[in-house]
Amino acid sequence: MGKVKSRLTDWQQQCLAHLRASAKQLPDTLTGVGTGEFDTETRTLHVPFSLNTSEIDSVPHGLLLEDQESFILAIGPDNEHPPAVYVDHFRFLGHPHVLSGFQFCLYLDETREWDPHHGINGVPNGVLNRLWRWLIKAAKAEFNADEALYHAVGGIPHLSHTGVPVPPIVVSELPQQRGRAASAWLTRRADWCLQLHASRPSGEEAEHMPVFFADHDLPFGAGSDYLYHLTSRLDLHQQQELQIAAALQNSPFYSAQQTPNPECEIGRRPFWVQNGVRAVAQEFDRSQSIAMLTTLAASAARKPEGTPQTLLLAVPHPQGGPRHLIAVYFDAELADHLRRLMRDKTGPLLTFDKARLDRSTPLKWCYVSDERDDVNHRRDIARPVATYHDTEILVLGVGGLGSWIAEFITRAGAAKITVCDTGIITGGLLVRQNYTDHDIGAAKADRLAERLRAIAPGIDIQSRHRIEDDELWTIATSANLIVDATINRAVARRLDIMALDPTRTAVIAQVATDAGTGSLGLAMVHGTKHSISALKTDVQTGHIVNHEPDLEPYRAFWKDPEPGDEFIPTRGCSLPTFHGSAADLAGVAASLTTLIAPHLADGESGAHLIALPHSGITPAYRYIPTSSLAHGSAA
């Protein structure tokens, strides 16, 4: 740290001026604005200030504030990130949205919430305004610890952004915990990432990876760059007394203050702590770091010299629930250091001096894609398509509409999907159907099934080139939905017979788009509440559309194509086809998929007519319930 000189950037000078202006404007609230000190390494200006918080009342379990609270504003060299606010004590340790015990998480999503124009004192999202609202919410216990990002590990993400990229690790399940450690296995999931397995997979090359189950959360984080930092953080045992503790400046574990702050570019050195702050009495539990190092070294010893090593830390959340996962990658040099420690071991646990730990070779933090069921919550849980979850679906015809509908239902979490089509993929279809150039020449059903399996490996995906009547009857009386996207009269007559069956469990939805533009959609839905003829319902719906003037654009579904509606895409014997782009058909398919979904729950029947916004057609949507057909009017 150094005294502030002319080295300040324009942004830092502007922030300092605004802070002083606010102090002049609010002398009873904002005081003690200092000159600040400048960190030459990170080019960060650290400015102390105080707020009168006597009027902020605390509730039980809320943050306890003194009448006057002191803070430090850390201003980076530019306005890409908001200035950070932190304190030089640990009275707020363990509270939600307090990072590493002393820094405030004022902006949960900087991209949406931070506007440099608001600066220090702007409304509504200037730094001082965000801080004041943060203090009020914290005092009133309005922060939910379950929703605080990375709360189990000090509120900060542990990722390395420098050097050779480390492959992310996908975790779907953890091995069973036995004591503090368990064995897991890594395989290559794709060229760019790894998959963790709870048991050793057979038939493929796998690398042993230990999982260490920490005894408690890590309110100071898990360290920054070196093994020494990680072991020090594991040794810090959070107790109730730490909630009211002072800074660690004079503690032998002073390095525990060190934390990266990628949000505000403060850097990787310790935050500035004022001189004269008393040391805190800490309780240390070295057995956890010893157990972790023993587990790590034992795994490294199973591999030859010159081999890197990985470790997965499973850290308990202070509010309970699933553990937070962070992964560490050790380069070969650091892994060899662990192997030497293992060779020197004389008992069941390593005996080591922290001073001997490698402090020159940095470790790397890997990105963990945590896919465990108790961690991930579906983003579509409150949307209509949630009805498709755990259902059994048949899609007949996987062309312009069917190929997209099948994918949307797959992403919605169906349990089993069967796709059926007799067609072969040609290059011209790629303009609007859900296939790739690699698929040309293959059967549509087979290639789409392969694509759907890649999207959702846990779903039972089947492909058929034809479905015989007995199998179709079985599906109609056991599945949840049959989507007919074939526009095939023979298929329609087969489904008409099944629509009349009172034992049918499957909703039957016949979908189509217009030949002229591919921007209109029709879904004739035959729910399980009604055992009536699908063909008769179609005719009756057509009569309503033909007799209502405002539905004139939708009459295209009940009449032959007009000249120019269809075209010949290939010279020779190519069949005429309709116009339409992938954007048009995917849009129509998405809307129809959403509109069909509620029928699986309510069993109702009816026709949905839709027009995409850019078609210019009104009404853009109309629903004609089957119950209204006898009255001859649309809803």
CATH number at residue 403: 3.40.50.720
Query: Could you tell me which residue, 3 or 175, shows the higher pLDDT?
Result: 175
DSSP annotation string for 175-223:
PPPBTTEEEEEEEEEETTEEEEESSPPSSS--EEEEEEE-SS--TT-S-
Query: Do 154 and 135 share a structural domain?
Result: no
Whether 16 and 156 map to the same domain: the answer is: no
Q: Count Cα neighbours of 588 within 13 Å in the Cβ-side half-sphere.
A: 30
Query: Is it the case that residue 403 has pLDDT exceeding 60?
Result: yes
Neighbours of 28 (CB within 10 A): 6
Q: Token pair 């040794």 is at which residue? A: 235
Are residues 137 and 170 both part of a single domain? Answer: no
Is there a domain that residue 408 lies in?
yes
User: How much is the pLDDT for 514?
Assistant: 92
Q: Helix (H, G, I), strand (E, B), or coil: what is residue 567?
A: strand
Reply yes or no on whether the pLDDT at 572 is more than 80: no
Report if residue 214 sits inside a domain.
yes
Query: Is 424 inside a domain boundary?
Result: yes
Look up the domain containing 520 and give its range. 384-631
Determine the pLDDT at residue 3: 53
User: Which of 347, 376, 405 is where one domain is finished?
Assistant: 376
Among residues 375, 450, 374, 385, which one has the least CA distance to residue 411? 385
pLDDT at 275: 30
Q: Is residue 247 part of a domain?
A: no
Cβ-based neighbours of 589, under 8 Å, separated by 6 or more: 401, 404, 405, 408, 511, 521
Supply the pLDDT for residue 271: 39
- Residue 167 pLDDT level (bands cut at 50, 70, 90): very high
pLDDT confidence band for 349 (50 / 70 / 90): confident
In a domain, 274, yes or no: no
| pLDDT for residue 563 | 65
Residue 272 maps to a domain = no
Q: Where are the alpha helices (DSSP H) in 500-569?
A: 534-547
Q: What number is the average pLDDT over the span 474-494?
A: 96
Same domain, 216 and 318: yes
Same domain, 89 and 172: no
Same domain, 431 and 500: yes
DSSP conformation class of 321: S
Percentage above 70 pLDDT, the chain: 86
Residue 407, classified by CB atoms within 10 Å of its CB into exposed (0-12), middle (13-18) or buried (19+), is buried
Has residue 410 got a pLDDT over 80?
yes
Model pLDDT, residue 232: 83
Mean of all residue pLDDT scores within the chain:
86
Domain end among 110, 143, 176 = 143
> What pLDDT is recorded for position 421?
97
pLDDT at 267 over 80: no
> Which residue's entry shows tokens 């990985």?
310
More confident residue, 255 or 497: 497
391, 484: one domain:
yes
The beta strands (E) that lie in 93-206 are given as: 98-99, 103-104, 169-171, 181-190, 193-197
Tell me: do 366 and 217 sit in the same domain: yes
Q: Model-level pTM? A: 0.80
- Residue 305 makes CB contacts below 8 A (sequence gap 6+) with 332, 336, 339
Residue 351 placed within a domain: yes
> Is residue 243 assigned to a domain?
no
Question: Could you read off the pLDDT of 580-618 as tens digits, one per residue?
Answer: 799 999 999 999 999 999 999 999 999 999 999 999 999
As a whole number, mean pLDDT of residues 430-447 equals 96
Q: What percentage of the chain reaches a pLDDT higher than 90?
A: 65
Choosing from 344, 376, 408, the residue where a domain stops is 376
Residue 519 makes CB contacts below 8 A (sequence gap 6+) with 513, 580, 584, 587, 588, 611, 612, 614, 615, 617
Whose CA is closest to 103, among 122, 90, 116? 90
The pLDDT value given to residue 139? 96
What's residue 380's pLDDT?
92
| 369-386 average pLDDT score | 92
494 and 417 together in one domain:
yes
Cα–Cα separations (whole angstroms), residue 297 to 213, 354, 495, 545: 16, 15, 64, 75
How far apart, in whole angstroms, are the C-alpha atoms of residue 225 and residue 233? 12
Q: In terms of domains, do 513 and 539 share one?
A: yes
pLDDT of residue 134 exceeding 70, the answer is yes
Mean pLDDT value across residues 36-53: 95
Q: How many domains does the chain have?
A: 3
Question: Are 332 and 392 part of one and the same domain?
Answer: no
Residues 467 and 348 in one domain: no
Sheet order of strands, 193-197 included: 364-366, 324-330, 309-315, 207-213, 181-190, 193-197, 169-171, 368-370
| Residue 631: pLDDT band with limits 50, 70, 90 | low
In this prediction, residues 22-46 reach a mean pLDDT of 94
Q: Is pLDDT at 474 greater than 80 in this prediction?
A: yes
Q: Tell me, what CATH number does 88's domain have?
A: 3.10.110
